[in-house]
Amino acid sequence: MKKWYAVIGDPITHSLSPFMHDTWFRDHGIDASYVPIRVEPANLEKAFESLKLLGVSGFNITLPHKQSIIPFLDQLDDTALKMNAVNTVVCDGQQYAGFNTDGDGFVRSLLTHPVDRNDQLLVIGAGGAARGIVHALKRAGFHHVTIANRTFRRAEELAEETESAAITMADAESSLADFNIIVQTTSVGLSKDEALPLSLDRLKEGAVVADIIYNPLTTSFLQAAKEKNCTIVNGVGMFVYQGAIAFEKWTGVEPDTEKMIQLITEKLGGTYVNR
C-alpha cells in the first residue's frame, strides 16, 4: 500500500520539505508521498491523533512544535532527548519514535567542505540550533570547539555540557584570526541587511565560514566572508542533509543529496557551484 509522510508546523506554506521528499520518493521508485500540514499549537495533540488514525508512516516537525510534540511520542533517541526537541518521527507500525537530525545534518554538510577535525572551530550563538550543532560536532570528533554568545552565560553552559570552550563576543571578534572554521547559528541575518552578530574584520583569509540560514542564500555574514576569500557554506546543505537522515530512517534508502542541494539552490534563486 502507498505510504504517506508529512511535515507539521505553523506556518508551513513555504516549507521545501514536500518538494525534497517527493522528489526523492519519485527518483528512488518508492510508492509514497509527503504532505505539508498546518497545525496550530492548540491543536497539536488532536492533529497527532489524526495522523496516527490515518496511518502516517513518519513525519517531520517544524516550528513551533519541535518541543511540544515530545509528550505524545513513545520513544526518543539520545539526541532528541538531549536537545529536548524533535524534528523527525518514525512509526514502526506500533510506536512513534522521535529523533533530531538537525545537528548531524549540519555536520554532514560541513564535512563536504575542506575542513579538518583538528581545526579551531568557532560557533556563534548558544540557542537551540547551536546546541544541536555543538553536540553533533563533538560526536563527529571535532576537538577544538569554542562558543561565543551575546549572553555569555549561555555560551558557558553549552561549553560545560559539551567539553568545549566559551568566549565573549568581544573576545571572539579580537581573536577571530585564530579560527579556521566559523559557524553562525543565530537568527541574525534572516533579513538581508541586518547587522552582523559580530564584526568579521579579523577573519582569517581562506577560513571556512558557515551560516545555518538558507533563505537568503547569502546572508550579510556570508557576503562579508566571501569578500575575505573564505569558503562559504550556506544553510541549504544542512537542510538537505537533515532531510536525508530522516529519509534514510523512513525508507532505508540513501537519497541523492548533491542533486537536491542543486535543485533547492536554484529554487531559492541561486546558482549552484559544483564542488
Active site residue ranges: 66
For residue 37, give Cα distances in angstroms to 22, 62, 99, 246: 15, 11, 19, 17
In the list 188, 238, 240, 263, the residue contacting ligand ATR (rule: CB under 6 A) is 188
Across 128-255, where does the E strand assignment appear? 144-148, 165-167, 181-184, 208-211, 231-233
Q: Identify which of residues 103 and 237 has a Cβ nearer to ligand ATR in the complex.
A: 103
| Residue closer to ligand ATR (CB basis): 235 or 243 | 235
Binding mask 142-161 for ligand ATR (x = CB under 6 A): -------xxx--x-------
Number of residues this chain uses to bind ligand ATR (CB under 6 A): 15
Shortest gap between Cβ of 11 and ligand ATR (angstroms)?
16
Strand ranges (E), the chain: 3-9, 32-38, 58-61, 75-76, 88-91, 96-99, 120-124, 144-148, 165-167, 181-184, 208-211, 231-233
Distance CA 216, CA 269 (A): 9
Q: How far is CA 117 from CA 72, 121, 205, 275, in A?
A: 37, 9, 19, 20
CB of 144 closer than 8 Å to CB of 123 = no
Smallest distance from the beta carbon of 89 to ligand ATR, in angstroms?
19
Q: Determine the residue with CB nearest ligand ATR.
A: 127
Nearer Cβ to ligand ATR, position 57 or 234? 234
How many CB atoms are located within 10 Å of the residue 266 CB?
Answer: 11
Contact with ligand ATR (CB under 6 A) among 33, 68, 75, 187: 187
Please indicate if the annotation marks 152 as binding a ligand.
yes
For residue 133, CA distances in Å to 77, 101, 160 come to 16, 10, 15
Is residue 125 part of the contact set for ligand ATR (CB under 6 A)? Answer: yes
Bridge partner residues of 99 (DSSP) = 88
Is 13 labeled as ligand-binding? no
Residue 64 contacts ligand ATR per CB under 6 A: no
Measured from the CB atom, the residue of 115 and 134 that comes closer to ligand ATR is 134
Mark the binding-site residues, compressed into ranges. Answer: 15-17, 62, 78, 87, 102, 125-129, 149-154, 212, 214, 235, 242
Mark the binding-site residues for shikimate, compressed into ranges. Answer: 15-17, 62, 87, 102, 214, 242
Binding site for ligand ATR (CB under 6 A): 125-130, 149-151, 154, 185-188, 197
